[in-house]
Amino acid sequence: MSKFKWLVLVFFIYLNFTNALAYSGNASPATQIYSKALQGDSESQFRLGEIYSVGSENDKAEATKWFRKSAEQGYAKAQYNLGLKYYKGNGTPVDYQQARYWFQKAAEQGYAKAQARLGGMFHEGQGWTIDYQQARYWFQKAADQGDAAAQAMLANMFQDGLGGPVDYKQARYWLQKAAIQGIEIAQNNLGAMFISGQGGAVDYQKARYWFQKAAEQGYAKAQANLGLMLGKGQGGPVDYRQARNWAKKAADQGDVDGQTLLDLLVSGNN
217 secondary structure, DSSP code: T
Q: How many residues does the chain have?
A: 270
pLDDT bucket at 5, cuts 50 / 70 / 90: very low
Above 70 in pLDDT, residue 71? yes
Average pLDDT over the chain, rounded to whole? 90
pLDDT at 34 (0 to 100): 87
Residues 164-196: pLDDT tens digits? 999 999 999 999 999 999 999 999 999 999 999
pLDDT at 257 (0 to 100): 97
For 4, residues 6+ apart whose C-beta sits below 8 A from its C-beta are none
Residues 199-223: pLDDT tens digits? 999 999 999 999 999 999 999 999 9
For 75, residues 6+ apart whose C-beta sits below 8 A from its C-beta are 42, 43, 45, 46
238 secondary structure, DSSP code: -
Residues 13-44: pLDDT tens digits? 344 434 444 444 556 787 899 899 999 999 99
The neighbour count for residue 55, using CB atoms within 10 Å, is: 13
pLDDT at 251 (0 to 100): 98
pLDDT at 26 (0 to 100): 55
* Spatial distance between the Cα atoms of 43 and 67, rounded to a whole number of angstroms: 10
- Mean pLDDT on 67-88: 97
pLDDT at 45 (0 to 100): 95
pTM over 0.75: yes
* Spatial distance between the Cα atoms of 22 and 34, rounded to a whole number of angstroms: 10
Above 70 in pLDDT, residue 264? yes
pLDDT at 188 (0 to 100): 98
DSSP codes joined into one string, the chain:
--HHHHHHHHHHHHHHHHHHHHHHT---HHHHHHHHHHTT-HHHHHHHHHHHHTS-HHHHHHHHHHHHHHHTTT-HHHHHHHHHHHHHTSSS---HHHHHHHHHHHHTTT-HHHHHHHHHHHHHT-SS---HHHHHHHHHHHHHTT-HHHHHHHHHHHHHT-SS---HHHHHHHHHHHHHTT-HHHHHHHHHHHHHTTTS---HHHHHHHHHHHHHTT-HHHHHHHHHHHHHTTTS---HHHHHHHHHHHHHTT-HHHHHHHHHHHHTT-
Cβ 110 vs Cβ 99: under 8 Å: no
* Spatial distance between the Cα atoms of 202 and 194, rounded to a whole number of angstroms: 5
Q: Look at residue 28 and give its three-state secondary structure.
A: coil
Residues 99-131: pLDDT tens digits? 999 999 999 999 999 999 999 999 999 988 999
* Spatial distance between the Cα atoms of 78 and 45, rounded to a whole number of angstroms: 8
